[in-house]
Structures are given as C-alpha cells and as structure tokens.
Chains A and B, each alone.
Chain A
Amino acid sequence: MAFFCDEFPIVERSEIASGIFSYVIHCPSVALAAKAGQFVHIRAEGYTLRRPISICEINREKGTIRIVFEVRGNGTDKLSQLEAGKKMDMIAPLGNGFTIKEIPSDKTVIVIGGGIGVPPMLGTAAEYTDNKVKAVLGFRNKDRVILEEDFKRVGAETAVCTDDGSYGEKGLVTFPLIEELERGKTAMIYACGPTPMLKAVINTARVYNIPCEVSLEQRMACGVGACVGCACNIRKGGRDFVLRVCKDGPVFKAEEVVL
C-alpha cells in the first residue's frame, strides 16, 4: 500500500451543491495505487492539520482521481478556493479501502451513502458492472442531493431518500435497504455516512446476515498511522482493540465495529 506526498495539479473544480465541491486531480501515481474507499490527506495553506477527504472516483486511464467535500470550517473553505490549474498538496492514497468481491451472476451488492458519506460509495459502485450494484443515497433535503446522475452513469440502480421528503423517498436509507434485502439477492453491503445511519445499516445487515463493510470517520492528525490520534473501538473474537481509522481503516467489517 504505497502512498505519495506531493503537489498535484487540479484539472477541474466545480460546486455541485451549495458548499459542496468536486475536484478532479491529475496524479497518475496515486490513481494507479488507489482503491475505492481510500482517502487523501490534503494540506490547507495556513493550517496545521491536513484534511482527510475520501476518494470519490478513480480514473486510471486518465491518471486522475476525483474528490468531493463539503465546506465545514475555515480549512475546507480554504481548500475550496483552489482553482483549476493550481496544485493540491496531498498525501495519498491512504487507508485500506473497501473489499471488492467476485459475486455470482444472480447476486447484487448494495452501496449506501449518507450526506457527505456518499462520495466514496460512487467509486465503490463503479467497481461492479453488469447491473450488479444498487445504490441507496440519503440526504437532508433536495438542496443537498449530490452525485445521483453519477451513480446512474456507472450503472447503479439508484434510490434517493431525503429526511424531509423534498426529493425522492421520504425517510431513512434503511427502508429501501430492507426492501432490497427482502428480495434475497444481496451478496454484500457497503456503507459510509453519519454514525446513526451506520448503526442502522450495521443492525440491518446483522438481521439479514449479509456481509457488510462500513467506512468510519474521526478527527485525524498524521493520516498515516504514526500518531494514533484517530482511534476507533473494534471487537474481534471477543477481544477489544483500539485501532487507527487512518491506517487500520477507514473501512472495517460491520460486525467488528463498536459505535
């Protein structure tokens, strides 16, 4: 799992929803090494700590990756001001990424994203072809909906839910998830999003006994495993471990995560 630290040119920048930015970055070495579910650690000029941002899409032919992030504070605001043509200082790719599996032809996988947890699920969905992937995307309201067309472009049958019903189905991602699981065709579930959503997805996966992987988030410093700042609690074989989201994760098996 080699990673790089360098300044890479920005090919494309766009604001895809209010305060949510999409960047395409030319970084052939990173694109070649990257896996869906990994992240990049970006330096924001004038700030001590880098910002961990998940990889949204990988294009190995063009040597690019795409990231999508929301402006949450001054650091991400600074990042969002970087124009195309400027360079992005990144340590990348970092973390383990989702496990992509060979699945039988009559089976499908489900990717679930909530809010700004949606972007990494796009690259994960893109790993499965031939109508093998269903996407369930949850947002607060219509204004926050992102990447729906992108999921359709990569061949995912896509359902969108909003908390207030202003777009798609009203309600939580677990409703379409359960509907799909009831059809009995699901081989694997992948999820990234806010903690309450992850808890619900993990419980649902347990009830239906479907393998599930989730991507966790935590305040991070080094991003490479050295500082042990981004701790998460993991239970394996009856034993408790404190692991690093950045290096041991960010993706963990659902049944091992203690939230």
Chain B
Amino acid sequence: MSKDLSVTVAGVRFPNPVIAASGTYGFGQDYTDLYPLNKLGGISCKGTTLEPRNGNPAPRIAETPAGMLNSVGLQNPGIDMFITGYLPQLKKDGNVIIANIAGATLDDYKQAVERLDSTDVDMIELNISCPNVKQGGASWGVTCDGAAAVTKTVRAVTKKPLMVKLTPNVTNIVDIAKAVEAEGADCLSLINTLLGMRIDIRTRRPILKNNVGGFSGPAVFPVALRMVWQVANAVDIDVVGMGGITTAADAIEMMMAGAKAIQMGTAIFTDPYSPLKVIDGLEKYMEENDLNSLEEIVGTVQPW
C-alpha cells in the first residue's frame, strides 16, 4: 500500500518531493503545533543574510485575486543566529534542511556561505532574486553576468549541494539558467515572486509601504509552469519547481514539466495542511498509475 515517494535532487535524497518554500515557513518552528516538520520532504529556510536585517516598513502584505503580494524585505536574524540558534533544532526535527542565502555584495554571499560550509546543513539555496530589496539579490539575478558571478563566488567556497533560485522578472530566464549552470550550480529552483503592485483607490496610495512587492499564489502557477518547462528543457542539472502550487495535481503538472521536486509557499497560508494534502495526493496518484517512483513522471509532458 504505502509507496516510496522519495526523489533525489542534486544528489540529495528527499523522502517526498514537497518542500516548504523560503520565506513562508520561517525556520520550521511555527507550524509544529499542527504537524511535525519531518512530514515535509524538506524546508527551505527564511532568506538569511550575513548581518541581521529588519526588512521593509509595514504594510508588507496585500491580497490579490488568487494570490498575494509581499514586501517583507528579507527580515532575518543573520547567518550566525541561523547556524547557532535554528539549525540544530531544524536538523533534529526535519528532513532535508536548506539554507536560503541572500546578499548585497559578492562578499556577503561568500562570507555567509563559508560559514555554512562547516555546518551540517544539507543544501544551500542562493537567493539572487528577492524583488523587495535593492541589491537584495534581485540585481544579481536579472543579468547573466550577475547570476554567474554570484554562483561562481559561492561555488569556490562550498562543496555543499548548491541550488540557485531564479527570478521570473527577466527577459529570458533560460539564458540566466544556463549561465548559472555553467558556473557550477548543482540545481535550480524557480520561480521566485513576480514583481507586482496594488493601489488603495480611496487614499491613492499603494497598499504596500514599499510600493511594489512579490506576487505569489495560485494566479502565478501557469507562468511558473511555463518557465520550469523551458528551463528544464534547456539545462542538464535538476530543477525544483515552485510558484502557486496548491494541489497534488499542480505538483504533478510541475513534475511533468520537468521539476524533480516542488516547493509550496502561499498555499500554506491559506491552508497549513496543504503540503500534507499534496503528499497524500501524490501517493494516491502513484498507486492509481502503478508508479514505483515519482521520478518516472519528471519531464514526461509530451508537447504538441
């Protein structure tokens, strides 16, 4: 009856392909009243920088049809606090623990990753695509040269599996993906949020104090799916798909488009149990289709 849902991404085995997306699950401690962290295949922790950051002024959240905007702006306790304060508990409670690292300068990335290299974190996700911070990574992620430079810098100081998270706010995401692959990334994750905006028509002010913010949720799923499909077809390294995944059917679509694992974020805000429902749905799909491994469906979409 019970199926093996495990997948392997960049050599790292995930007991199931459902990962909590960075920025939506904190450091894994906030939902443990509802279910243990080890139900999830992995967790990508809140974007962390070399030094602590206070983030952007509030309001940082706005709702949209079938989605939301956020302009949190990388509020985090800094890399040292992550390593000493959160990582030990995460390793005890969870499966695959992914540190998500952002920075303003190449040296920020280098120093933060150097400190992680000697820890037992399982994987490092490079955030070169936060839309909410000037030089909070976004400026690196929007050009091939920038994305390549960060990847190269970090690759030189760590042997940890390296996942680079791509922004959709570019002309051609495939070019960025190839540039990152060429500098030694072990896998890619995409998409980060799309840059968006909402205005309060009574006050004529943007709802977000930052004016603009990252757009996520079910509304972005088709865009994410398309980009994952394009990127997965263009690179040889593994791809982790995210962007609006809410149901097991969404996750299966994303895997058929070429993702070996998926990340969920905004759906957790709507329903904290949604990742578990996706995992159950994936198992059911395996049974119904007599699959031995979910990897059998990865990239199997047959385009017209």
Q: A residues touching B (Cβ–Cβ < 8 Å)?
A: 2-5, 43, 47-50, 75, 91, 218-232, 240, 242, 247
Contacts and interface: CB of A to CB of B under 8 A. Distances in A.
A48 B59 contact: no
Given A48-B67, A50-B270, A226-B24, A219 B59 contact: yes
A5 B273 contact: yes
B217 interface: yes
Contact of A48 (B46, B63, B75): B63
Contacts of A240: 54
Given A48-B266, A224-B30, A224-B31, 15 more contacts: A4-B34, A49-B61, A50-B269, A219-B60, A219-B61, A221-B269, A226-B30, A227-B61, A227-B72, A228-B46, A229-B61, A230-B60, A230-B61, A231-B56, A232-B58
26 contacts: A3-B33, A3-B34, A4-B33, A43-B270, A43-B271, A47-B270, A48-B269, A218-B58, A219-B60, A219-B207, A221-B70, A221-B269, A222-B268, A224-B30, A224-B31, A226-B26, A227-B26, A227-B269, A228-B60, A231-B55, A231-B58, A231-B75, A240-B54, A242-B54, A242-B55, A242-B75
Nearest to B217: A48
Query: Interface residues of B: mostly helix, strand, loop or mixed?
Result: loop
A61 B33 CA distance: 24
Given A48-B269, A229-B72, A247 B46 contact: no
A257 to B, nearest CB: 13
A46 to B, nearest CB: 9
Contacts of A222: 24, 30, 268-269
Interface in B213-251: 217-218
B23 interface: yes
B14 interface: no
B25 interface: yes
B58 A48 contact: no
Interface string B264-293: 001011111100000000000000000000
A225 B218 contact: no
Contact of A228 (B66, B67, B75): B75
Nearest to B208: A219
Contact of A2 (B24, B33, B270): B33
B133 interface: no
A221 B218 CA distance: 15
Given A43-B270, A226-B26, A226-B31, A48 B218 contact: yes
B57 interface: yes
In the A-B complex, the 9 residue pairs with the smallest Cβ-Cβ separation, listed nearest first, are A226-B26, A226-B30, A229-B61, A219-B61, A219-B59, A242-B54, A231-B58, A225-B30, A224-B30
A219 B58 CA distance: 8
Contacts of A219: 58-62, 207
